[in-house]
Structure formats: structure tokens, C-alpha cells
């Protein structure tokens, strides 16, 4: 990145709603690094901010962004639509204030015919009522460093998961990459994604890394929409969270029984779900995120979802499982 990242050499700008799209530099081929420190900063409140998102095909586009992000599953991502003549696609910006109350950076991942000049359109997965509640506001937009491929869930500072909190505001979603054909598990129990894996697969592994130290809930319960980080995850909750953050499921968590009908039958190339009425787990790029201890002691120790190198070790419980996968994966 360099001076070309922040293009403010515009004599006049048209105030128009701005579309927010947030995700990862790795998805658009951007290189990790910082914005040009010498780039001029606009005056406070000199930008216009609007909001867009689901329902799609209702004046908000198709849900597929200009950089190829699939937002149709309404994943909780910090993303904005911009005028690429002013802000380069694939770069990051701070937007203050914003409806999520985050100080994290937003990924410039989309465009719009009405997004012209100093105008951003912020992606809000929570729906039309929240988008309308934001309306049109004056904000300050400034360049932000790129987190690179290390954060596929949005450039958001790490925070402790809290029941009722926003996944986008709390998720760090760190992700390391490996040259191996399958994902590998690091000493701390987190997973490294294959460098050539599809974006949805990297997102799924980053999501698993976000909850791989979480405990199992007692009593067993789903705490609410998947757009909120939960204090604990059971088997189906963990599987649903991974699918949701990869853009492959709505914000409503499914039970293990409901996951028996998810997607398409049979194992997938990259992602496979095993489910029956009592248990479920997900295999991503050859490793499993499972709450059961088959396949070795959990790392870190404790209950809850953990990455397992033996993807099908849980079949040792003797139960029959329905095998499903997301379309195309």
C-alpha cells in the first residue's frame, strides 16, 4: 500500500450514502501493511455515512460485493462500500462514529452507484430496522492499517466474548496459514488454514479459532443469534457458529437434528458436517471442531469445542451420523 491507498485529490465531493463492506485483505489480494502515514486526514464529520444489508434485492444489492464477498448469509463483518476513486478497494478505514460502537477498522469491499466522493455505506447484517435507525449521518473517515491475512473476521480489536455482545465487535478471528493441503493444529490448539483454501474455508477456520477455548454450556443452551458471541458453545452451537461466520448459515443456530438436513448430502471437498439427534461436529479442511473427546485430549484442556486432527474420531462412539456439506464446498 502507499499513497495510492487513500485518494483524496478530489476537488469536490458529492455527499452520498456510503456502503460498508468489511473483511480481509487476503480475500482481495491486498498485502498486509499500513496506510500512508502522510495521507491527509479529512476534517471531523466531513463524510456522509449510510447503511445497507439484508434483506437483499430490496434496493441493497444482491449480497455479493464488488470484491467478491458473499454477504447473503448475513455474516457479522465490518465492511463498507466506498467510492474507489477516493478509497481504494481492499483497503481499510476507520469510521467514527458507527452503529456498532467499535474502534476497529472497516474493510472497503464494495461499491455502489450512489456511493460517490466522501460517502461510505456501512454493511449492517442485523436487518432493515437497524439500517433505517442509523439513517444518514456525518462521520469521520480516516485510513487504517491493514491486518492482512491474520484476521478474516474483520479488523476488530480482540475482546473477551460476552453474552449479548456483537460478534463483529468482539471477534478477533486470528488465522495463520500453512502451505499444507489440509489445515494443521498449532501447539496452542488453534488451527492454520491452507493458503490456497477458498475464502469461506479460511473464514470457517478463523471462526473456529475464535471459540476453540470456549467451555461447554451447563445447562446446555443456545444463547441467542449467532451474530452475538456466546459465553459457551455446545456441539451444534459451535458448528452453527462456524457456518454462520463463513457466510454459510443464517444467524439462527441449528440443533444437531436440524443439521441432519443442512446443505447437500455426503462429504464435502472442504467442509463436512456430521450430525444425528444427539451430537454434531464440523470438519474443515481435514480437521474437526468437536466438543467430544474422541481422538485425544482437548487442547487447551476443558470442555467445549476443540480442534481435532482425527476428523472422524468421533465415529468411535458407535452411533450413526448423517453426513452433509455446504453446496460448492
Please tell me the predicted confidence (pLDDT) of residue 74.
80
* Three-state secondary structure readout of the chain: CCHHHECCCCCCCCCCCCCCCCCCHHHHCCCCECCCCCCCCCCCCCEEEEEECCCCCCCCCCCECCCCCECCCCCCCCEEECCCCCECCCCEEEEECCCCCCCCEEEEEECCCCCCCCEEEEECCCCHHHHHHHCCEEEEEEEECECHHHECCCECCCCCCCCCEEHHHHCCCECEEECCCCCEECCCCCEEEECCCCHHHHHHHHHHHHHCCCCCCCCCCCCCCCCEECCCCCHHHHHHHHHHHCCCCCCCCCCHHHHCCCCEECCCCCEEEEECCCCEEEEECCEEEECCCCCCCCCCCCCCCEEECCCCHHHHHCCCCEEEECCCC
Split at pLDDT 50, 70, 90, the class of 272 is very high
- Structural class in CATH, domain 165-325: alpha beta
Domain 1-152 indexed as CATH 2.40.40: yes
Split at pLDDT 50, 70, 90, the class of 42 is low
Residue 101 has pLDDT above 90, yes or no: no
Return the higher-pLDDT residue of 10 and 174: 174
CB 80 within 8 A of CB 124: no
Q: Which residue spans of the chain are classified as CATH 2.40.40? A: 1-152
Please tell me the predicted confidence (pLDDT) of residue 174.
53
Residue 75 has pLDDT above 70, yes or no: yes
162-183: pLDDT as tens digits: 233 333 333 334 567 888 999 9
Least confident of 13-17, 67-71, 139-143: 13-17
186-236: pLDDT as tens digits: 999 999 999 888 878 888 998 899 899 999 999 999 999 987 889 999 999
Averaged pLDDT of the chain: 78
Residue 59 has pLDDT above 70, yes or no: yes
Q: What percent of the chain has pLDDT over 90?
A: 47
Other Cβ atoms within 10 Å of 188 Cβ, number? 10
Least confident of 94-108, 204-218, 261-275: 94-108
User: Which pTM was predicted?
Assistant: 0.56
Residue 290 has pLDDT above 90, yes or no: yes
Return the higher-pLDDT residue of 191 and 150: 191
Q: Which residue spans of the chain are classified as CATH 3.90.1720? A: 165-325
Amino acid at each position: 500500500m502507499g499513497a495510492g491507498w487513500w485518494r483524496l485529490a478530489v476537488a469536490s465531493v458529492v455527499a452520498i450514502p456510503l456502503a460498508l463492506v468489511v473483511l480481509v485483505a487476503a480475500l482481495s489480494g491486498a498485502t498486509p501493511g499500513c496506510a500512508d502515514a502522510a495521507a491527509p486526514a479529512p476534517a471531523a464529520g466531513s463524510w456522509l455515512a449510510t447503511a445497507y444489508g439484508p434483506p437483499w434485492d430490496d434496493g441493497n444489492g444482491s449480497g455479493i460485493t464488488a470484491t467478491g464477498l458473499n454477504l447473503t448469509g448475513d455474516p457479522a463483518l465490518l465492511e463498507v462500500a466506498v467510492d474507489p476513486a477516493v478509497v481504494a478497494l481492499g483497503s481499510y478505514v476507520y469510521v467514527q462514529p458507527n452503529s456498532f460502537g467499535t474502534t476497529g477498522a472497516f474493510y472497503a469491499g464494495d461499491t455502489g452507484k450512489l456511493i460517490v466522493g466522501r460517502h461510505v455505506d456501512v454493511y449492517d447484517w442485523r436487518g432493515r430496522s437497524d439500517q433505517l435507525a442509523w439513517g444518514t449521518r456525518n462521520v469521520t473517515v480516516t485510513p487504517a492499517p491493514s491486518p492482512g491475512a491474520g484476521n478474516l473476521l474483520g479488523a476488530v480489536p480482540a475482546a473477551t466474548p460476552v453474552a449479548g455482545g456483537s460478534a463483529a465487535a468482539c471477534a478477533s478471528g486470528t488465522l495463520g496459514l500453512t502451505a499444507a493441503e489440509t489445515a494443521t493444529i498449532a501447539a496452542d490448539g488453534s488451527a492454520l488454514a491452507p493458503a490456497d483454501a477458498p475464502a469461506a474455508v479460511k473464514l470457517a477456520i478463523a471462526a473456529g479459532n475464535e471459540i476453540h477455548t470456549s467451555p461447554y454450556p451447563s445447562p446446555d443452551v443456545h444463547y441467542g443469534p449467532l451474530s452475538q458471541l456466546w459465553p459457551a458453545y455446545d456441539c451444534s452451537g459451535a458448528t452453527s457458529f462456524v457456518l454462520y461466520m463463513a457466510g454459510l448459515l443464517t444467524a439462527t443456530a441449528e440443533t444437531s437434528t436440524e443439521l441432519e438436513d443442512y446443505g447437500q448430502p455426503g462429504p464435502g471437498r472442504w467442509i463436512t458436517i456430521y450430525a444425528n439427534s444427539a451430537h454434531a461436529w464440523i470438519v474443515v479442511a481435514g480437521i474437526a471442531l468437536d466438543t467430544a473427546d474422541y481422538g485425544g485430549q482437548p487442547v487447551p484442556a476443558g470442555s467445549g469445542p476443540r480442534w481435532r486432527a482425527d476428523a472422524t474420531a468421533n465415529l468411535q462412539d458407535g452411533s450413526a451420523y448423517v453426513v452433509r456439506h455446504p453446496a460448492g464446498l
